[in-house]
Amino acid sequence: GLFGVPELSCPEGFQEAQDKALQESEQLVQKACSTPPGPETVMIFDQLSDALCRVADLADFVKIAHPDFAFREAAEEACRNIGTVVEKLNTDVELCQSLRRLLADDDVTNSLDPETRRVAELFMFDFEISGIHLDEEKRKKAVSLNVRILDLCNEFLTGTHLPNKIDKHVLPEHIRYNFTAEGNYLQVAGLHADCPDDLVREAAYKIFLYPNAEQLSRLEELLASRNSLARLVGYDTFAHRALQGTMAKNPETVRQFLEKLSDQLSKRTQKDFEMMTKMKMKLNPQNSKLMPWDHPYYSGVVRAERYNIDPSLYCPFFSLGACMEGLNSLFSQLLGISLYAEQTQRGEVWSEDVRKLAVVHETEGLLGYIYCDFFQRPDKPHQDCHFTVRGGRLRENGEYQLPVVVLMLSLPHSTRSAPTLLSPGMMENLFHEMGHAMHSMLGRTRYQHVTGTRCPTDFAEVPSILMEYFANDYRVVNQFARHYKTGQPLPKNMVSRLCESKKVCAAADMQLQVFYAALDQIYHGKHPLKKSTTEILKETQEKVYGLPYVPNT
């Protein structure tokens, strides 16, 4: 079965795995409620979390990545059912009381080690933000709102990946071949941000982002539901609820940070946009106004011209095999860790090109497994990401439950004449995602609830960003970047130029992220919103980003 889980040899197995998890969770709830306050209470809570997460996390990955629709559908149903149970448990008064008794007893609390105490406080925090303090009727309302929010999130995210269709005669004939034909229609499934033809990028932007009434309705209901939930459980806005327990603490701090950052960036961003405009004027004198579909493309062109960066000159030095050897060598030198390819069992993986790596420490032994789902395939989301399938924890018998993660990329397949070759950006992304994977392997906590990347969001990106620094350091790159045909090492000046080029247009790139963050804060701020989500987007884009809003997007 998938990931070696016997039940998951067929889609129907998700029902069986889910039923087992729910049965185990019922027993653990009873045990938690009848156990005297002490460290065992926290251990039972963690077992409960693990029993549900083992199915929910696995299903969360399968519903996105499995090529078989029946598997995706079964996984989504399991996610929804377990998500509903989790929300009910977060408002279970008797279960909460067992933890409250523990935290209210100073003698017991003071006897706990710091890790156990922290985990107990985190579980209590989950109860509090879910509305445990409310009366029964309001708690039920909180559960139903949470479940509705889960559904709306799924529906909205699915909708963002759907292509838009357009009558092919609307587009000039010479650009139609860039899009997938379907009878008299063309399917536009993305922004084509890297396409050198301005008209193709403009058409893709306007068609792919054309308003969809269903998506707008979902977004508005999602924001309203989140606000209702936050108000119900005692917060001014959903942003207040989401930021409690983070370094920022509240929306006011976030707003001030974004405003200061935007002020610091403004002059540099303006210079970046001027550079891109000059480049567009040079390449397309008839239409030189800089538009949102130009930013990703022309920032790359400016970098490439200024530092003579042609990705096709770098790719031959970054074969996938060489990059993996580089990572293996780096982990061996820094951490005493080696990666070994393992044979998979029948039904263990969801695509024949998925590879399984065992992560082995020189003295500690086997630390866990990484499944590498690296290659493009139809229906696979175009997003590089890391999924926790199973968290690590110390089991009751003293053995350590090994973590299992998936790294998902969208790399091109090898050809008859060349292995899979990575662009500098792809290589950096591989290092970034492998940073998350190593975090999961090395964050060996006693409790599953805080294992690996299950830490504050503020910190979760630190190991992966650290890996990006290694990917841009000649001392590291020189150890593995070899031309796949000649074996020649990547010249030092090419690495230096690549690193310097990343500073070009960096302010404009960051300004775009500030715009996304500011929009997110407004959407999740005070409700009812004063204007429609699209009008707020237009206002925020023109105020914060600097490139004009495009009507009907």
Q: What share of the chain is helix, strand, coil (3-state, %, to 5)?
A: 60, 10, 30
Query: Which residue's entry shows tokens 């933890």?
Result: 99
Does 433 participate in catalysis according to the annotation? Answer: yes
- How many angstroms separate the CA atoms of 59 and 72, rounded? 8
3 state DSSP class of 138:
helix
Which residue out of 433, 461, 535, 542 is catalytically annotated? Answer: 433
Q: Long-range contacts made by residues 377-382, C-beta under 8 angstroms, separation at least 24?
A: 377/67, 377/351, 377/353, 378/67, 379/67, 380/65, 380/67, 380/408, 380/410, 381/64, 381/65, 381/161, 381/408, 382/190, 382/410
330-339: b (≥16 Cβ within 10 Å) or e: bbeeeeebeb
Local structure of residue 530 (DSSP, 8 states): S
Angle between helices 213-232 and 533-540 (to 10 degrees): 90
- How many angstroms separate the CA atoms of 297 and 194, rounded? 5
- How many angstroms separate the CA atoms of 414 and 155, rounded? 34
- C-alpha distances (whole Å) from 50 to each of 323, 390, 446 are 34, 8, 12
Closest CA to 370 of 347, 387, 350, 352: 387
Q: Which tokens sit at 359?
A: 């992560």
Q: Which tokens sit at 107?
A: 């003698």
3 state DSSP class of 365:
strand
3 state DSSP class of 30:
helix
Amino acid at 366: L
Catalytic residues: 433
